[in-house]
Amino acid sequence: MQNRHEPIFNIPATIVILVVVLTAIHSVRLLLGPQLDLWTIFTFGFVPARYDPDSQFFGALPGGTGADAWTFVTYALLHGDWVHLGVNVAWMVAFGTPVFRRLGPVRFFAISLAATVAGAALHLATHWGEPLPMVGASAAISGQMGAAARFAFQRQVLFGFSNPDDDSRWRRPALSLIAAFRDIRVFAFVAVWFAVNYVFGATDVMAGMSAPIAWQAHVGGFLVGLLLFPLFDIPASRTVGEPDKAPDDQNNGSV
């Protein structure tokens, strides 16, 4: 009988590729030099002043009308520094992995994209005319966190170290929004998530940072993942019932 060694972390190849791409982009930026890197940030980062006719930067930023559209997405590919990138990568591995396992590549990228755009939109609404560019994949990852709250905190699902080839746990019925907030684990996670984002973003706790935390973008992305998850979920897994009442619970030992 062949011995089988299971990895401690079973990260999907797509998540690994995303980490490599984000790391490569940041590494290349370090080689560009200050001026070209600044051009990159203002061309592909999200700048609210770009949309304000009363701003002195209106019509003057690089990228033109094309950047008015693509920066709603491309800002997520840039990061302020290695710490910023490292934190986002860590959260994406933790929360993006279960979401990817459940949704597959197409739905995973769709919900991440929707969260990215929503994060930029809410940041624009709350920072109208601000010339400071916003960068980072936090809105997309916040969307993945919100999506994970709808299914990953269930018993026998939450980031378990079971057989990595057993995909049945990712297909367990998702919680309805009402059922999710009745679960103390989900309620506590959402409450702590909002509290942490408010404390670190809306107060001066992190006043020593080189740039403020765009916490409103986090909120926009999180709400997309939490509230709109059923639109992206695998159709056969949608339910308004409790997760532990799946019909095959008594017939298999999957976790």
For residue 191, the tally of other CB atoms under 10 A from its CB is 11
**Number of structural domains, the chain?**
1
> pLDDT at residue 217 above 80?
yes
Give whichever of 114-123, 193-202, 213-222, 234-243 has the largest mean pLDDT.
Answer: 114-123
43 found inside a domain: yes
The whole-angstrom separation of Cα 175 and Cα 182 is 10
39 found inside a domain: yes
Q: Tens digits of per-residue pLDDT, 55-71?
A: 888 888 899 899 999 99
| Cα distance from N-terminal residue to C-terminal residue, the chain | 24
Domain that holds residue 196: 13-245
Name the average pLDDT for the chain.
83
Per-residue model confidence (pLDDT) at position 206: 45
Which position has the token pair 């980062």? 45
The set of residues, in sequence order, having a beta carbon less than 8 Å from that of 20 and lying 6+ positions away, is: none
> pLDDT at residue 28 above 60?
yes
Per-residue model confidence (pLDDT) at position 8: 42
Q: What does the DSSP assignment read for 37-68? A: HHHHHHHHSB-GGGG-TTSTTTTTSTTHHHHH
185 found inside a domain: yes
Question: Inter-axis angle of helices 138-148 and 215-227, to 10 degrees?
Answer: 30
Listed in sequence order, the DSSP H helices in the chain are 13-32, 34-44, 64-74, 82-91, 97-126, 138-148, 177-182, 184-202, 215-227, 229-232
Residue type, 65: T
253 found inside a domain: no
From 123-132, 142-151, 158-167, the region with the lowest mean pLDDT? 158-167
Smallest Cα–Cα separation from 139: which of 173, 177, 96, 101? 96
pTM of the model: 0.82
> pLDDT at residue 168 above 50?
yes
Task: Give me the percent of the chain exceeding a pLDDT of 70.
Answer: 78
Tokens of 53: 């006719």
The whole-angstrom separation of Cα 202 and Cα 210 is 15
86 found inside a domain: yes
For residue 149, the tally of other CB atoms under 10 A from its CB is 25
Per-residue model confidence (pLDDT) at position 235: 61
Considering only residues 50 and 154, tell me which one the structure prediction assigns the higher pLDDT: 50
The whole-angstrom separation of Cα 151 and Cα 176 is 9
Compute, in degrees rounded to 10, the torsion defined by CA atoms 100, 152, 233, 69. Answer: -60
251 found inside a domain: no
250 found inside a domain: no
| Three-class secondary structure of residue 79 per DSSP | coil
> pLDDT at residue 89 above 70?
yes
> pLDDT at residue 36 above 70?
yes
CATH code of residue 111: 1.20.1540.10
Query: CB of 145 within 8 A of CB of 95?
Result: yes
**In angstroms, what CA-CA distances link 95 with 6, 87, 148, 157, 245?**
20, 12, 7, 12, 24
- 163 burial (CB, 10 Å; 0-12 / 13-18 / 19+) is middle
5 found inside a domain: no
Section 196-206 average pLDDT: 70
Section 207-213 average pLDDT: 58
Q: Using 50, 70 and 90 to split pLDDT, how confident is the model at 124? A: very high
Section 83-103 average pLDDT: 94
